[in-house]
Amino acid sequence: MSNKYLLEEKLPFCKGCGHSLIAMGIDKSLQELNCSPFDVIIVTDIGCHGIVDKCFTTHTIHGLHGRSVALAAGISMSLENPNKKIIVFIGDGGATIGMQHILDAAHNNFNMTVIVHNNMLYGMTGGQQSEFTPLGFKTPTLKEGADHSGYDICEMASSAGANYVSRILTNMEMYKTFTEAITNNGFSLVEVLELCPSYGVKSNPGMKLINIANEAGIPIKLYYNKMREPFKLAVKNAPKPLINEKLFIQPKRNHKLTKPISILISGSAGEGVQTAAELFTQAAIKSGLHATKKSSYPVTVGIGFSSAEIILSPKNILFTGSSCPDFAIVTSNDGLDYSLAILKKAESGQLIIDSSLAIPETKMKILKNGFRSKFTNKFAALFSLAFFLESSEIFPKKVFVEVCSESKLAAKINLEELFELNSVKN
Amino acid sequence: MEIDDQIIFTDNSRLVIESLAQAGADVFIGYPITPANLLYSYASERFPIFLAAPDEITTLQWMTGFSSTSRIPVTATSFPGFALMIESINMAYMMELPMIIILVQRLGPSTGTATIGSQGDISILNGIISGGMAIPTFCVGDSIDCWEISAKAVETAVNLRTPVIILTSKEEMMTMADVDCTKLKKIEQIKRNYFESDDTYVPYKPESNLVPQFLPINNNKHQVRITSSTHNTKGIIQNSTHEALFNSKRLHNKMIKNQNAFCLFDYNEAKKSETLLISYGITSLAAKEAIESLREIGKHVSLLIVKTLFPIPKIIFECVINHKNVIVAEENLTGQYRQILFGANSSKNISGVNEFGRMITPNEIINEVLKYEQ
């Protein structure tokens, strides 16, 4: 055999191992295809099959146990070049640990050819069973034989969407199947059944591969050879920068703060706490203040509390947390539950709370208003911040109105009505 | 605040992603996880190539594949996802393929609390590479850090042919603040150099800086071999030969040899101060504020903010030697970086300010400083 793609040195496998036949089959197939060795990328991973890299004259990349398909997927997506033949070697052990990668690659129809070297056990580590070990098949650690059947990778790859799927026995004609698989412009998988001469043959004397396949119900056949379009990588042409003129705020000094203040607004998820806090903070910046907004909420987005800590300062802000707020605004029971400990700890400051809520234990001065009753709950947070601004006069209310008018909120609520003067009830 | 037309109100996730993209990173691959989800979201708009991977192992494998073809991939995750990535980060490290992994810390152990920040993953980063080799690990504090260090991470990854980690946390990536864009320096896109000789390409033959020249796996002129197992300069797997062991040791030595190129820190030495305050990341902001407050009451204390956590910068020990007392402020239970620097048995003059589950306040740092500076 000529050695255009294989170096003229002995293959590194045990005598009688099917891995040698596969390597020679790939070599013969590539000769048949007559492509440049530099148009071939052989991707291997851990397992006996993976030590073959050094014998190939093609590009080679050797990765982690069971991950060669995922590694090849990255290469395939990036190149997106049907002239580059990406050939992936994986064992049955690797296919066990990396099954998801195979199904995912088949599902996405990444252009590559996967050769599953299925000798039905882990050859490199002493002949342990894999999830491809057929029912009754013996290994050195499974002397009574496997008590359940192995994966049918061909059925699985087919149902996942592979373009080409075939199961074969090791033989000298394998290259024909490999050529079919490699020339299919999409995801191809060839499962090659082998008997490991070191562990499989010794543990199962006299057993024939074809009988194993028949008894296991994994037929030797071509499953699919179709021409579905392979994965196409979406590449954005000149994506827009994330910092652009639309974000620029033109601050005008128009505030009454001489020292930093911190505000805690605490309400319920789904009631616009974060949006209101964001718009309020933006308005503060527009009024010439430095400002930060830190959010807190449970893992589930749509239920439970939602709170925001806002710091406003005439000078640059470093620390963005606050141990005790100067002002606390509570708009719901969830918000009250969340802030109880903070309110109890407070030695001074002001609590602005919805009229419907029980007054918590706190030394803060209390202001009440019906934030939830005047508008729907969705706008309680926004209304409460408008109320706070009116009572505190930190910066002009009209700036807050302007910022809200330019937001998506403008279409959802009558801002004029929301920002009307509200009576303060002690 | 001065009147200026380039003030924006943003979280730092926006700055990190924009900086990475401007520096030349062109692929983002991710699996969503809080609190890294803003990074994911921005990247979906900004990166030329954006891919949603089915899990974090696949994420790193795809990234490695892309990197082998000369693209510069980025991902962002938090501890649960990062834990799954570790073997593959080792792979990319051994293969010497550039990429950026942003680790947004949240409260552990395990899945912990996704929406509470932390600085609890320092110890794991110190030993992430099996064999103890150093992996460049940056840590960001404020918005300027996010902008400048993200670009620096791309430069470091490409120039040293290595995965690079950007360490951050929930508050840094999600808290919004005013940012003056005029203070964001212009970022130059990284220029990549490739092997150009007609000689045989030896993929792991190091240059004088201990970094081998790069060729993508699809090169049409030279054979390219890339491997994650112990290998010689040709990329051939070898069973611990002298040449192969030299190559593995070189992975660490190249970081140390080139350390000055990516060693970032802010050091403000207070003359006659006996106390050095060390901090990093989110806690460095509280540390800065504490130093300002202390100065107002006439207490002058030196401050070292470490921005390249690993390999451990020599500057730390150069600063320590000039001070009698050292305080390390960090948001974790046990003082992870302090223990890495000074051992588990801290002396009476080495102490920590630590918190678990909430941010350290400037007052807590001030109180610790005042124990030394009466």
Residue-wise pLDDT tens digits, A262-305: 999 999 999 999 999 999 999 999 999 999 999 998 877 678 99
Contact yes or no for B206/B161 (Cβ under 8 A): no
Query: How far is the alpha carbon of B216 from chain A, nearest alpha carbon, in Å?
Result: 10
Domain ranges of chain B: 1-262, 265-372
Q: What contacts B118, CB < 8 A, 6 or more positions away?
A: B105, B106, B107, B108, B112, B169, B170, B331, B332, B356, B357
Q: What is the band of A426 on the pLDDT scale with cuts at 50, 70, 90?
A: very low
Q: Quick count: other Cβ atoms within 10 Å of Cβ B368?
A: 22
How many residues are there in chain A? 426
How far is it, in rounded angstroms, from Cα A56 to Cα A30? 11
Return the half-sphere exposure (C-beta side, CA atoms, 13 A cut-off) of residue B298. Answer: 1
Residue type, A359: I
Residue B354 pairs in a beta bridge with B330
Residues of B in contact with A6 (CB under 8 A): none
CB–CB contact A319 B289 (8 Å)? yes
A interface mutation test: which of B4, B5, B9 has the most A CBs within 10 A? B9
Give the burial class of B94: count Cβ atoms within 10 A of its Cβ; 0-12 exposed, 13-18 middle, 19 or more buried: buried
Q: Which residue of B has its CA nearest to A306?
A: B115
CB–CB contact A70 B225 (8 Å)? no
Q: Quick count: other Cβ atoms within 10 Å of Cβ A311?
A: 26
Contacts 24+ apart (CB under 8 A), A11-17: A11/A52, A11/A55, A12/A51, A12/A52, A12/A54, A12/A55, A13/A48, A13/A52, A14/A196, A14/A197, A14/A198, A15/A197, A16/A197, A16/A201, A17/A48, A17/A119, A17/A194, A17/A196, A17/A197
The topology under which CATH files domain A245-418 is Pyruvate-ferredoxin Oxidoreductase; domain 3 (3.40.920)
Helix (H) or strand (E) holding A369: strand A365-369
How far is it, in rounded angstroms, from Cα A217 to Cα B3? 77
pLDDT at B3: 46
Q: What contacts A289, CB < 8 A, 6 or more positions away?
A: A251, A255, A257, A312, A313, A314, A395, B1
Q: What are the DSSP E strand ranges found in B190-315?
A: 225-227, 265-268, 275-279, 302-306, 308-310
* Region(s) of chain A under CATH 3.40.920.10: 245-418
C-alpha distances in angstroms, B299 versus B130, B270, B272, B285, B323? 44, 9, 11, 18, 15
How many residues are there in chain B? 374
Kindly report the backbone phi and psi dihedral angles of residue A85, in degrees, each rounded to the nearest multiple of 5, phi listed first.
Answer: -90, 110
pLDDT at A225: 93
Give the burial class of A324: count Cβ atoms within 10 A of its Cβ; 0-12 exposed, 13-18 middle, 19 or more buried: middle
Does residue A11 surpass a pLDDT of 90?
yes
Query: How far is the alpha carbon of A6 from chain B, nearest alpha carbon, in Å?
Result: 13
CB–CB contact A239 B178 (8 Å)? no
Tokens for B317? 């020990």
CB–CB contact B18 A234 (8 Å)? no
List the helix and strand counts (H, then E) for chain B.
Answer: 12, 16
In chain B, the N- to C-terminal Cα span, in Å, equals 35
CATH number of B265-372: 3.40.50.920
DSSP characters over A60-104: EEE-STT-HHHHHHHHHHHH--TTSEEEEEEEHHHHHHTHHHHHH
Q: What contacts A341, CB < 8 A, 6 or more positions away?
A: none
Q: What are the DSSP E strand ranges found in B67-162?
A: 73-77, 99-107, 113-117, 137-139
Q: Strands across the sheet with A365-369, in order?
A: A365-369, A350-354, A327-330, A261-268, A305-313, A290-296, B176-180, B7-11
Tokens for A166? 């075939």
Residues of B in contact with A57 (CB under 8 A): 223
Contact yes or no for A190/A114 (Cβ under 8 A): yes
Residue type, A118: N
Q: What is the band of A425 on the pLDDT scale with cuts at 50, 70, 90?
A: very low
Q: What is the mean pLDDT of chain A?
A: 93
Q: Which residue of B has its CA nearest to A234?
A: B49
Give the burial class of B208: count Cβ atoms within 10 A of its Cβ; 0-12 exposed, 13-18 middle, 19 or more buried: exposed
Under CATH, domain B1-262 is a member of which superfamily? Thiamin diphosphate (ThDP)-binding fold, Pyr/PP domains (3.40.50.970)
SS3 B306: strand
Q: Quick count: other Cβ atoms within 10 Å of Cβ A353?
A: 26
pLDDT at B346: 72
Residue A100 pairs in a beta bridge with none
Q: What are the DSSP E strand ranges found in B71-146?
A: 73-77, 99-107, 113-117, 137-139
Of A62, A104, A247, nearest to B228 by CB-CB distance is A62
Give chain B's residues under pLDDT 70.
Answer: 1-5
Helix (H) or strand (E) holding A299: none
pLDDT at A403: 95
How far is it, in rounded angstroms, from Cα A404 to Cα A286? 12
CB–CB contact A60 B226 (8 Å)? yes
ipTM above 0.90 for this complex: yes
pLDDT at B1: 44
Please state which of the four CATH numbers 3.90.550.10, 3.40.640.10, 3.30.2130.10, 3.40.50.970 is assigned to the domain occupying A18-225: 3.40.50.970
- Count chain A–chain B contacts defined by CB atoms under 8 A: 232
* Region(s) of chain A under CATH 3.40.50.970: 18-225
Which of A8-17, A324-333, B245-254 is predicted with the least confidence, judged by mean pLDDT? A8-17
CB–CB contact A236 B48 (8 Å)? yes
HEC readout, A11-55 = CCCCCCCHHHHHHHHHHHHHHHHCCCHHHEEEEECCCHHHHHHHH
Name the residue among B356, B38, B337 with its Cα closest to residue B170. Answer: B38
Q: Strands across the sheet with B225-227, in order?
A: A222-225, A164-169, A187-193, A112-118, A85-91, A40-44, A59-62, B225-227
The radius of gyration of chain A from alpha carbons, rounded to an integer in Å, stands at 34
How far is it, in rounded angstroms, from Cα B90 to Cα B73? 16
CB–CB contact A281 B288 (8 Å)? no
Q: Which residue of A has its CA nearest to B8?
A: A248
Query: How far is the alpha carbon of B345 from chain A, nearest alpha carbon, in Å?
Result: 30
Name the residue among A61, A28, A60, A163 with its Cα closest to residue A105. Answer: A163
CB–CB contact B65 A73 (8 Å)? yes
Kindly report the backbone phi and psi dihedral angles of residue B365, in degrees, each rounded to the nearest multiple of 5, phi listed first.
Answer: -70, -45
Q: Strands across the sheet with B350-354, in order?
A: B265-268, B302-306, B275-279, B325-330, B350-354
Tokens for B84? 């799954």
Does residue A372 surpass a pLDDT of 60?
yes
Kindly report the backbone phi and psi dihedral angles of residue A103, in degrees, each rounded to the nearest multiple of 5, phi listed first.
Answer: -65, -40
DSSP 3-state percent helix, strand, coil across chain B (nearest 5) = 40, 20, 40
The radius of gyration of chain B from alpha carbons, rounded to an integer in Å, stands at 21
Kindly report the backbone phi and psi dihedral angles of residue B92, in degrees, each rounded to the nearest multiple of 5, phi listed first.
Answer: -65, -35
Residues of B in contact with A78 (CB under 8 A): 27, 65-66, 69, 71
